[in-house]
A and B are shown apart, each in its own frame.
Chain A
Amino acid sequence: MNILSAHPLSLILFLPLVGAVVLLAFPAAKVKAIRGVALVASLIPLALTLVLWGSYRAALTVGEFKFVENYPWFTSIGSSYHLGIDGVSLVMLLLTTLLTPLAIMTSFNIKERVKAFMILFLVLETGMLGVFMALDLVLFFLFWEIGLVPMYFLINQWGGEKRNYASLKFILFTMGGSLGLLLAIQMIGVVCGTFDLVTITASWPALQGGELFGIPIATVKAIAFWAFVVAFAIKVPVWPFHTWLPDAHTEAPTGGSMVLAGVLLKLGGYGFIRLVLPLFPAESARFASWLAALATAAIIFGALAAAAQTDFKRLVAYSSINHMGFVVLGIAAAAWAGGQTNPTLRESAVIALNGAVLQMFNHGLTAAGMFFLVGVLYDRAHTRQLAEYGGLFAILPVYGAILVFISMASLGLPGLNGFVSEFMIVRGVWPIFTLFIALAMIGLLFTAVYVLKALKLTLHGALNEKWVGKLTEISRRELVVIIPLMLLVVIIGWWPAWILNLINQTVMTWF
């Protein structure tokens, strides 16, 4: 138990990687054993995260992290192996460790090269978890980038027809976006003499006046700010940086899409909260309305684009842009209010930021659920065209009911999880960006349009006769995947306090 109590984060972080290395030694033909090992290797981190959740006691001061591990790593450039979490990271850890085993179970439908698939998936999990734990900029960047590689191969090797195009677009967009991030990180490291996030948060924002590299420091900071923002905006994605997403999400295998939408997009939102707001408080406040405008555009255009799709999976992909827009809008409001002293505004900002974090978690559940359900249908029908379905309720009542349920959660029906977080964002953003949030309501309207359109074209209307006898009801394994998600959707809808308290304690220290 010693290692569990002394290094719980490292343990959670590297268990999936250990699982991947163990799998390397397996003969490729032992498909069942490989699936089992992969599932176990992803379930243990989930169990450990729950233990962590139980023993987590909130930090009360800003910049205080829990379960900290700090060891020298790359001393010549001032980078260390520094891990630690707060309430926001913990929520994201739970999301990651929850969705990964579900996605692995979903991927039991993969028949080709199962071993390579599972190894890549476990490496991916380590990459994602690392981002949520890293308290060193270089370490953050390491995990940020390393996750791209397995995801690239998952799309490229097990994806749909246009997988080559989609995977290359995905990795080049993200790497191109992180180029500015890398340069900005290097620059901050050179100026501050360290990459330690806690130290930098104390010294870098305070650096004002004077020149850096012969340029006024305010300009340098503004450029660095936008370098960070672009990197994270591509990941979220915020309009107009979203174009990689529909291709990548649509072409990825189902398990990959679940994790892409469920967790990878959250890396962007988390980056805003963990790095942009603390490191650039002044710039965040100054440019917050720009960010809010882009987020609003993402909400509206994402919904409109989703409503126009004829491909079920693409529709769900665009819906992510719509939902993640709310996350960024909430963050932008908090960024703006960070520069204000008015207590009412600051209170609204706290609500908005709480909502944004909860929305990340909620979207993780519903987006993964939606992609999963699209995958279930695709596995049986081998088409994603909405026009080819129709009236499926008659032959797939259980599946139909689940699809309606998750769709309603995604739509934001009161009593389900999406409503809670979107309401908080709307409530929190309202006094700050009234116009933007009013415009975003149009987006919300179209959210209803595309969700209902998808339901109508798949479940209702005339039954397409060719499916009779061909489509089978959702299987037991598939139910095991979707039921935990459904439970959480309801629990958060009725009783969000268990998760909100955790988020709020952390957010409160920032305001």
Chain B
Amino acid sequence: MPVPLLSILALTPLAAGIIVLLLPAEKRSLIRGIAFATSLFTLAVSVIIFFRFDTTAGGYQFIEKMNWLPALGISYHMGVDGIGAAMELMAGIVVFSGVMVSWRVEDRPREFFAFLLFLAASVFGVFASLDLFQLFFFFELAVFPKYLMIVMWGSPKTREYGGMKLTLYLFLGSVVALIGVLAVYFTSGLRSFDMLALEQAGLALEFQRAWFLVIFVGFGVLGGLFPFHSWAPDGHVAAPTAVSMLLAGVEMKVGVFAALRAGLMLLPEGMRYWAPLILVLATINVVYGAFIAMIQKDFKYVIGFSSVSHMGLVFIGFATLTREGLTGAGLQMFSHGIMTALFFAVVGMVYDRTHTRDIRELGGLFRTMPIAMLGFVIGGLVSMGMPGFSGFIAEMPIYMGAWQTAPIVAIISALSIVITAAYILLVVRRVFFGETPEGIRAGLSDISLMDKIVVVLLSLILIVIGLFPSVLVPWIEAGVRHILVLTGGA
């Protein structure tokens, strides 16, 4: 029997989280050690899954299937396609980085790391779910650690508001999506939540058109789709660093991933029918998000809104329903995950030392924390779509997809490139260069070795993908091939 790698990936953090909770709170080093070992282990497993995935064969691999509630047609069904494998790897990297930068959390580390591991289990589970109910199960598993981590460890001023807003938005979105999922379940006549079966169910075109938006937008809320994006900046800003990294880096991908799996892949005709609407909304995401990011005074809000802008490109890629667009969307999911984790990590490192996120109160930080500056600049270059970095590799196919279906979308969205360049460069200059204001000088110090490892690791990934796209593209393409079969595209 083959090793159930995906179950190991999803369930290890769950088990480790429970073990951590059972330990006495004073055993801080042991708790940190377990969290670190678990994140390193899941990173290793995700790397193994990624490289053992056969991109030529494509399809779903590493499949595990067991009955769960046979009476309801629910099974425990794990498996990944190329996109899923890439997402697992991305999540593995971000979870590992999140644990590393949280090393110095002194406030109730036991609960903190336990919840972080639960969150990890949730995202690993979603990306591997081939059963709709199970997907939903893992999807919702994240709600409770997310909420608690924001309100307990978040920034004191806004954590209640941010945590509440985030939870309500996402809860509402997932309830709507659940209704859609149930409609699919009943209408298909299969009485099964098995997505492989549902993909082939041949749902009536009218049904697909009627129910598509419910599922796609319901899950899309977590992906930050306009006009349901406003939880994202508030939530990201309120959250502690590691949670911001996981939220913007991985959780937003969980949203679009679920929208892709349950919306686009089960109801392809619905996607085709509603594509113009999604394109319009996503274009607003891209341009409006960039404009709002530009006028922010809070360092972290800049990044929060930039995520809204960048996630719009993923939706554009989906809605083009072309090979290029879908490939670009998959690449963007990966690239943005790593990039935004890097951004939030650096923002956290700056905040820990200066205790302010107001851009006007910061300055000259390159002198004390050069590596952090370098990481932020590299993230910034990715963000502005600079060729040679992963952002360009992702955006290029998305734009080409848009050219094939709606050229105007490409033209309008491209505006965001210059706006992004403007705000990123301004932030880099104000925060890292110039004079250091008197008020923040006292606490300045270089970032720790673990922080440096995170910054360098994430930066290198962004550069390597930018220079050698073939390290990632075949996985995404393997997934896209299957999607195109379902949508009937070429």
A interface list, Cβ under 8 A from B: 72-77, 138, 141-143, 145-146, 149, 152, 156-157, 164, 168, 171-172, 175-176, 179, 182-183, 186-187, 189-190, 213
Contact = CB atoms under 8 A, between A and B. Distances in A.
Most buried by B among A73, A77, A187: A77
Interface stretch (B143-151, B344-352, B386-394): B386-394
Interface string B380-411: 01001011100011001101100110010011
A476 B406 CA distance: 61
A146 B396 contact: no
Contact of A189 (B392, B393, B400, B477): B400
B460 interface: no
A172 B421 contact: yes
Contacts of B396: 74, 77, 138, 186
Given A168-B425, A186-B396, A149 B407 contact: no
Contact of A186 (B327, B403, B415, B417): B403
Contact of B477 (A76, A143, A168, A187): A76
9 contacts: A74-B469, A76-B397, A77-B324, A77-B396, A145-B388, A183-B410, A183-B411, A187-B403, A189-B400
Contact of B407 (A74, A143, A187): A187
B317 to A, nearest CB: 13
A145 B386 contact: yes
A54 B323 CA distance: 46
B334 to A, nearest CB: 14
Contacts of A146: 386-388
Given A138-B396, A187-B407, A189-B400, A76 B386 contact: no
A72 B474 CA distance: 13
Contacts of B433: 156-157
B473 interface: yes
Contacts of B422: 168, 172
A182 B414 contact: yes
Given A142-B388, A182-B414, A186-B399, 13 more contacts: A72-B470, A74-B473, A75-B473, A76-B469, A76-B473, A138-B396, A145-B388, A152-B425, A168-B429, A172-B421, A175-B417, A183-B399, A187-B407
Contacts of B477: 76
Overall SS of chain A's interface: helix
Given A145-B386, A186-B410, A172 B403 contact: no
Contacts of A164: 429
A265 to B, nearest CB: 21
Nearest to A180: B414
Contacts of A175: 384, 417-418, 421
Interface in B289-346: 323-324, 327
Interface string B164-181: 000000000000000000
Overall SS of chain B's interface: helix
Interface in B342-366: none
A187 B384 CA distance: 20
Contact of A156 (B323, B324, B393, B429): B429
Contacts of B469: 73-74, 76
B270 to A, nearest CB: 25
A382 B456 CA distance: 40
Contacts, number: 78
A149 B418 contact: no
A330 to B, nearest CB: 30
Contacts of A186: 396, 399-400, 403, 410
Most buried by A among B404, B415, B425: B425
A145 B388 CA distance: 9
A152 B425 CA distance: 10
A149 B383 CA distance: 13
Contacts of A138: 387, 396
Nearest to A74: B469
B387 A142 contact: yes
A75 B477 CA distance: 11
Contacts of A72: 470
Contacts of B473: 74-76
A190 B397 contact: no
B414 A171 contact: no
Contact of A176 (B323, B418, B426, B429): B418
B489 to A, nearest CB: 15
Interface in B433-479: 433, 469-470, 473, 477
A172 B419 CA distance: 9
Contacts of A157: 433
Most buried by B among A75, A141, A176, A183: A183
A151 to B, nearest CB: 13
A142 B466 CA distance: 10
Contacts of A152: 425
A76 B425 contact: no
Nearest to A143: B387
B429 to A, nearest CB: 6
Contacts of B386: 145-146, 149
Nearest to A179: B414
Nearest to A189: B400
A76 B327 contact: yes
Contacts of B387: 138, 141-143, 145-146
B38 to A, nearest CB: 33
A141 B397 CA distance: 15
A187 B396 CA distance: 11
Contacts of A149: 381, 386
B393 A74 contact: yes
Contacts of A183: 399, 410-411, 414
A221 to B, nearest CB: 14
Contacts of B410: 183, 186
A189 B324 CA distance: 12
A190 B417 contact: no
A239 B388 CA distance: 31
Contacts of A142: 387-388, 392
A146 B378 CA distance: 12
Nearest to B370: A116
9 nearest CB pairs, A to B: A142-B387, A190-B403, A74-B469, A146-B388, A145-B387, A186-B399, A213-B407, A176-B418, A175-B421
A175 B469 CA distance: 23
Contacts of A73: 469-470
A161 to B, nearest CB: 13
A72 B470 CA distance: 9
A74 B472 CA distance: 11
B418 to A, nearest CB: 5
Given A76-B473, A141-B387, A186-B396, A179 B403 contact: no
B383 to A, nearest CB: 13
Interface in B69-95: none
Contact of B425 (A143, A171, A182, A187): A171
A157 B367 CA distance: 13
A141 B399 CA distance: 15
Nearest to A212: B407
A141 B414 CA distance: 15
B470 A172 contact: no
A17 B327 CA distance: 30
Contacts of A176: 418
A175 B423 CA distance: 13
A157 B434 CA distance: 9
Contacts of B470: 72-75
A143 B477 CA distance: 26
A143 B392 CA distance: 13
A142 B403 CA distance: 20
A141 B393 CA distance: 12
A156 B434 CA distance: 10
A187 B410 CA distance: 10
Contacts of A189: 400
Contact of A179 (B327, B400, B417, B426): B417
B476 to A, nearest CB: 8
Nearest to B392: A142
B429 A172 contact: no
Contacts of B388: 142, 145-146
